[in-house]
Amino acid sequence: MPIPLLALAISAFAIGTTEFVIMGLLPEVAHDLAVSIPSAGLLVSGYALGVAVGAPLLAVITSRMSRKFALQLLMGVFIVGNVLCAVAPSYSVLMIARVVTSFAHGSFFGIGAVVAASLVPADKRASAIALMFTGLTLANVLGVPFGTFIGQQFGWRAAFWIVSGFGVLSLAGISALVPNRHDTGPAGLGHEVRVLKDPQVWTALAMTVLGFGGVFVVFTYIAPILEQVSGFSPRGVTLILVLFGVGLTVGNMVGGKLADRALMPSLMGILAALAVVMALFARTSHSPVAAAITVFVWGIAAFATVPPLQMRVVQKAAAAPNLASTLNIGAFNVGNAAGAWLGGLVINHGHALDTLPWVAAAVSVAALLLTWFAARMDAPARALAQGT
């Protein structure tokens, strides 16, 4: 794999760390800024909303820039946002800083995926995207626990100063390693938008919403499930989440390799496996050992979907992939929010926590059916190509 992918992976690591580290520092933030824990928790929601809104907005702003310059600009926004987080004198300023930081998230991953795919031959593109996203998975395994530890020992602001430093390192890596190509084309934004007229692009975005939405039906409530159903202590839950993060990292690379061999058949197989693992978790969640094993396997299946889902959008919007790829990052976040909402709806209707894996399995089956339908839509185009 080309060395520029390292710069993209480091950037993904920094972005993933700043997104999730706030969760481990909510008590410190709430105490320092004299707000409640629920109010501090809104910093997570504000970031997610910023990703969803900022992704298409920044895609429009950067539509006529070279991809390298766009990545540099987005990483600059990321650095500024994290520095503002570190020096924020009040809760409102911190919220604004979090939203500013999140604006770089969706567009960076969207454009970064296109750049990663362009650096390698066609049969390695999904693996290249997976390598970039490895930075995101490692952020969950290494960056968030380390940032939480630093924040608890030296104050929550120290965590954001360190993430800012990673941002500077990322910007230097992009500037030095990513090739400069004037590859946006003369049509700019208009050409990008026209690609969205293809129903297959929207089908791919819907596949992402369903394919990853099922994961968050359970993941949003994984701590109470592990504590109340499986019987783990809070410290045990932390260790299981690290195990889950390792599974994410493994699944990300496996998903990239499989997608390079056969994208749609692999994606259907992964979604089927995800549905089966979730159905099993409804049973194994009652046993600590079985639950730990299932969570690890679930992590593999969950993130194995990411490279093929992202590659599918890049593939279907090949003529102008920047906007579509960025929108797909937003689709992941829509899936996250929808999954969390659906899980909460099930709980609020009086169902037990061990019901959630069944709901997640049903959402994964819906994603599988939509993927099968999309593959059938490809058949006429393949037949025409073979005939010519």
Number of neighbours of residue 36 by Cβ within 10 angstroms: 10
Give the pLDDT score at 185. 47
Structural domain total, the chain: 2
Model confidence at 266: pLDDT above 90: yes
Cα angle 302-306-311, degrees, rounded to a multiple of 5:
155
Q: Are residues 112 and 199 in the same domain?
A: no
Highest mean pLDDT among 22-36, 176-190, 360-374: 360-374
Number of neighbours of residue 224 by Cβ within 10 angstroms: 13
Residue 388 lies in a domain: no
Contact 99, 46 (CB under 8 A): yes
Mean pLDDT confidence for 108-137: 86
| Residue 290, burial from CB neighbour count under 10 angstroms (0-12, 13-18, 19+) | middle
Q: Are residues 335 and 375 in the same domain?
A: yes
What is the Cα 158 distance to its own chain's centre?
Answer: 25
Q: Are residues 168 and 233 in the same domain?
A: no
Contact 29, 159 (CB under 8 A): no
Residue 111 lies in a domain: yes
Q: Are residues 169 and 280 in the same domain?
A: no
Task: Give residue 175's identity as a one-letter amino acid code.
Answer: S
Rounded distance between C-alpha atoms, residue 140 and residue 363, angstroms: 24
Please, which pLDDT band fits residue 188 given cuts at 50, 70 and 90?
Answer: low
Model confidence at 195: pLDDT above 80: no
Q: Are residues 155 and 199 in the same domain?
A: no
Look at residues 130, 159, 184 and tell me which one is the last residue of a structural domain: 184
Average pLDDT, the chain: 86
- Residue in this structure with the two tokens 């109340």, named with its chain if needed: 228
Q: Are residues 175 and 257 in the same domain?
A: no
Rounded distance between C-alpha atoms, residue 379 and residue 385, angstroms: 10
Q: Are residues 145 and 196 in the same domain?
A: no
pLDDT tens digit string along 312-361? Answer: 988 887 766 777 877 888 888 788 778 888 888 888 888 998 999 999 99
Q: Are residues 108 and 248 in the same domain?
A: no
Q: Are residues 152 and 292 in the same domain?
A: no
Model confidence at 126: pLDDT above 50: yes
Number of neighbours of residue 4 by Cβ within 10 angstroms: 21
Q: What is the pTM of this model?
A: 0.77
pLDDT tens digit string along 13-54? Answer: 999 899 878 877 877 888 899 988 777 877 877 887 788 788
Residue 387 lies in a domain: no
Give the pLDDT score at 186. 42
Give the pLDDT score at 180. 79
Residue 140 lies in a domain: yes
Please, which pLDDT band fits residue 386 given cuts at 50, 70 and 90?
Answer: low
Residue 269 lies in a domain: yes
CATH number at residue 11: 1.20.1250.20
pLDDT tens digit string along 326-338? Answer: 788 888 878 877 8
Look at residues 131, 156, 184 and tell me which one is the last residue of a structural domain: 184
Mean pLDDT confidence for 200-205: 90
Please, which pLDDT band fits residue 241 given cuts at 50, 70 and 90?
Answer: confident
Give the pLDDT score at 283. 94
Cα angle 198-204-209, degrees, rounded to a multiple of 5:
135
Domain that holds residue 362: 185-382
Q: Are residues 29 and 132 in the same domain?
A: yes
What token pair was written down for 137?
């998975």
Look at residues 184, 208, 238 and tell me which one is the last residue of a structural domain: 184
Task: Give residue 195's identity as a one-letter amino acid code.
Answer: V
Q: Are residues 275 and 161 in the same domain?
A: no
Task: Name the phi and psi angles at 182, rounded to 5.
Answer: -85, 80
Model confidence at 383: pLDDT above 60: no
Contact 134, 10 (CB under 8 A): no
% pLDDT > 70, the chain: 94
Give the pLDDT score at 187. 47
Mean pLDDT confidence for 158-181: 92
Give the pLDDT score at 206. 93
Q: Are residues 326 and 286 in the same domain?
A: yes
Mean pLDDT confidence for 215-231: 86
In DSSP notation, 296-308 reads HHHHHHHHHTHHH
| Residue 333, burial from CB neighbour count under 10 angstroms (0-12, 13-18, 19+) | buried
% pLDDT > 90, the chain: 38
Please, which pLDDT band fits residue 192 given cuts at 50, 70 and 90?
Answer: low
Residue 142 lies in a domain: yes
Residue 286 lies in a domain: yes
